[in-house]
Every structure is written in C-alpha cells, then in structure tokens.
Structure 1
C-alpha cells in the first residue's frame, strides 16, 4: 500500500512518480484506435502517445496512475502478478484494470453485456445509465456482512475504449452513490495513461503491470524478513530436550 502524503504527514513509503519522456513516434497501427481515435484526443484516459498533461503518476508499467494529496494507492496482486490498482480517496475507492483490445473496434459494449449477465446470475440489481465517460453499469452487489447477514454494496462500473486497449474502472464506497463524492476518483480515472506496447495480445487479456523498483525491493525485503521469522519457529521442537543444569551439593 502506498500513499501520497499530505504536507503535514510523515512518509512511511512512497512510490516514485513516473519519469515521463513522451514522443508521438508511434506506428500507424498503434496511433489508430476505435472510431479513428488516436493521439491528440481532447480528454483522457490517455494513450502513452497522446499529448497528455504533466502530473505526478505512479509508474506501474502498463498503467501510469495519477496521485494527489490524500490519495492512497494499493496494488492488487494475484499470486506474484500485479493485476490492477486501487486508488482510495476519503470514503471512495476506484479500482482500475487495463486490457488489450482489437485495433479497429472497442470492447466496452461487449464487456457491459457480459458484466450484466454476471450481475444477473449473482442476483444483483443493476441498470445501465449515461455517465461522465459514456454508458456505465450501476449495480448493488450482494456482499457478506458477517453472522450470516448479506448487505448490498453500490458499485459503478465505468469503461473507456482506447487505441488497442480498454480501461475499466469500478467505483465503490460513497462515490458509487454520490456524484460529488466520486469527482476526485473520476479525475484520477480521466488522467490515467495506458501503456499498451506493441506486443501482440488477444482481446481482453490483462495488460502487464509491475511494481515500481523501490516498492518491489521493499516487498521482497518484507517477504524475506517474514520467512526468516517463520524459520525461527519451524526450527523450534517443543519435544526436544534443551540444555540441562545439574546442581551439585
């Protein structure tokens, strides 16, 4: 977990912002996106070749995620792989994932249909509405509230098709029910930079993410320390006789 500190806070661990060197030298295939979109679009989310505004961003390889004062950034791991990133602001969370998409068509329409089927199968109430990024899915997802109780959690699923990529966001917490509370994380989503790369990928495959070097080093050190601590307990045999003291009178 990483946090952009407020001015009056001490820093426990910070992720360095991306050092962004950009050019518009892309292949025609990389520059062309759905509906003829490409570099020079007026608003984000951004492609790495776009003329996007400068600001502090966490460099996760396939994503450069903007951070601001009071933001908390968490990477989502599956085993040893980074599969997404969550930005928390106050009582609102935004989870972001990037996927490969075809050269000439977007996949958000198809993803929304699949998402609707999954929500329907889970017994969740949902509807499609028009939002700041176009069509989005607003749902109330059943969650375990403990002691056999089930509660409904509001979630907004947003998506944007870019040049050979698709960016999906899930807003939960206060921002899922209050447009005012969502403004901060919507600005984060709007200013994400997607680094698709030129490697061929099938549609809907996750774009590879990675931890920044400093964060990976810190994680490896923490894992090594935990393994050493665990080894101490494993070496202890409660049934093995320890040193004995013989008293001579």
Structure 2
C-alpha cells in the first residue's frame, strides 16, 4: 500500500535486506501438551546456519512493516483504517475487537486485536541500526518455550524465520522483523491448529504485519526495550470512564454489604468518646496530676 521502503544509509539504490527478530513470554504462561513434533529435528544450532537463515523475500514482493518516516506523508489517506498506538500503527481487520492490557498502575501495556480466528498482538522494540536482533530473540524465546514444556518448530515465512509453538491452552505463532533501530514482533494465538501454516489466523497475522507502521522516535533506548504504547484519546477516555464506573460499583457493593450487616440500617461509625477517661480515682488527667 505504501510502496517500497526507503533506503537507510545506502547509496547503491538497492533495498536493504532485513533479516528477521520477543523477549517476554508472560502473556501465554500455560502448561503444554505432548504433540507429534520431533524435538530432535530442531537442535540448539537451528538458529545458526540453516535452511531458515532468513532467506530474503524478492524485492518486488516485499511489503511492510514500514518505518514511520518513510510513509508519514501517505498515512493521512488511510488513517481511518488504522489504529495509532504510538509506537505502532496497525490496520484493524473487519470485525476485529480491541482488548487493552493494563499494568497495575493503569498504564497501557499491550493492545490485542481479537478476531474470529484468534488474537493478534503487535509490539515494537528498540534495536541496533544493523539487523539481526530477531534471530537472537527468537532463539531465546524458543529456549524459554521449550523449558516450559512447549513444542516449538522453526518455520519459514515471508520475512524469514517464524516460531510455531503448541501449548495446552493455545497454539502460537511468533513473527518478527528487523527494521532501522527497531524490531517488530507479532504474536498470533488461537485454539489447537489455528497457528498452523495456511490457516486464516496466520494469513490475517501476516497481512496485518505487512501493513504495520513502526514509529521508533529519536530517544536513545536500550536494545530490546519495548517501545511505549499510547492509546488514542477517545479510547483512553472510554477506559478511564469504565474504570471510574467500576470503582463506583465496587463502592456501592461495599456499602450495600455494610447496610445488610447493620440490619438494613445505613452504616454509622460508632461515636468516639472525647471526654477524659475516668477511673476509680477520678479522671485520667486527675490521676496524672494535671488537673
């Protein structure tokens, strides 16, 4: 939709070859079941020289993800079809619903696109200028998944290596792409079989990633640092209003419970006696010789 990526730091007119690149596994912390995957087929050196060595897609077939600076002038024409989350701008599939994941302090942590086939999550991370971060991240992720009992296969996709993980709770596919000082990672999660090759969920995930725009910004950040998620103002206002309604409902529930405990009478705190306490020998102040 936006055309080819601009050349980053090259004068020969050729497009840079982007190799591909997750650091966290919190969101799918499930137990895993045995499958027909052959673990011996994917040894520890699978991320070195192998058949999945990030074979590039032909330049004429390559789409996004795009760098914001390369396509900013064209974004206005498709703004209504996309969701601007600050660090990433993603297309919303027909019928897709938004699910916002918040931190305990109320900061948006992730935004998921719920579709009829499964859930898709796109996030961006800081990376070096040179490509290669996805390769190391994918290796770390695969190791973590297997230690947790998942069955993991390394497959080949439009941008190179992808991870396909089978778990007890969901089937997952991780797709990563290196850009200029950023790495974008997509997670597609669905029921058993949903993350297999040539499924509607995987097709939708690749289509979304191919039209994603990454806004890296100029701020220096550590490698693998997640780029911040910023909600559109309208969505942020809706979440704030919903949070206030939830707090009000909780307060009403507590008040109703206290009223029921008081036999139907509104709860009244017990009056506190402000008079000096008197004992057998007079008031407390008198006993201390202060009166």
Match of 2:88 among 63, 69, 78: 63
Q: What is the match of residue 235 of structure 1? A: 255
Paired residues for 1:186-197 under 5 Å: 186-197=206-217
Match of 1:48 among 44, 65, 68: 68
Q: What is the match of residue 95 of structure 1? A: 121
Deviations 1:171-219 (A, max 9, x none): 2225402414122231111111111111110011110002111111111
Name the structure where strand makes up a greater proportion of residues: 1
Q: What is the match of residue 119 of structure 1? A: 145
Q: What is the match of residue 226 of structure 2? A: 206
Q: Check if 1:221 corresponds to 2:221.
A: no
Measured after TM superposition, the shift of residue 36 of structure 1 is 7.1
Alpha-carbon distance in structure 1 between the residues aligned to 2:219 and 2:97: 31
Instruction: Give the unaligned 5+ runs of structure 2.
Output: 10-14, 19-58, 267-291
SS state at 2:89 partner? strand
Q: What is the match of residue 185 of structure 2? A: 168
Deviations 1:29-63 (A, max 9, x none): xxxxx9576xx995201110123675311111111
Name the structure where helix makes up a greater proportion of residues: 2
SS state at 1:142 partner? coil
Instruction: Give the unaligned 5+ runs of structure 1.
Output: 1-23, 29-33, 144-152, 244-249
Alpha-carbon distance in structure 2 between the residues aligned to 1:76 and 1:232: 26
CA RMSD in angstroms, aligned pairs only: 2.8
Alpha-carbon distance in structure 2 between the residues aligned to 1:67 and 1:239: 49
Q: How does the TM-score come out when normalised to structure 1?
A: 0.72
Give the direction of change, closer, same or farther, for the CA distance of 1:100–1:219 in structure 2 (3 Å limit): same
Measured after TM superposition, the shift of residue 106 of structure 1 is 3.2
Deviations 1:134-181 (A, max 9, x none): 1111111233xxxxxxxxx32111100111111111122254024141
Q: How does the TM-score come out when normalised to structure 2?
A: 0.62
Give the direction of change, closer, same or farther, for the CA distance of 1:196–1:233 in structure 2 (3 Å limit): same
Count of paired positions: 203
Deviations 1:66-117 (A, max 9, x none): 1132222323323322222222332132221111111223310110110111
Match of 1:106 among 118, 129, 132: 132
Give the direction of change, closer, same or farther, for the CA distance of 1:178–1:135 in structure 2 (3 Å limit): closer
Q: Which moved more, 1:161-170 or 1:178-187?
A: 178-187
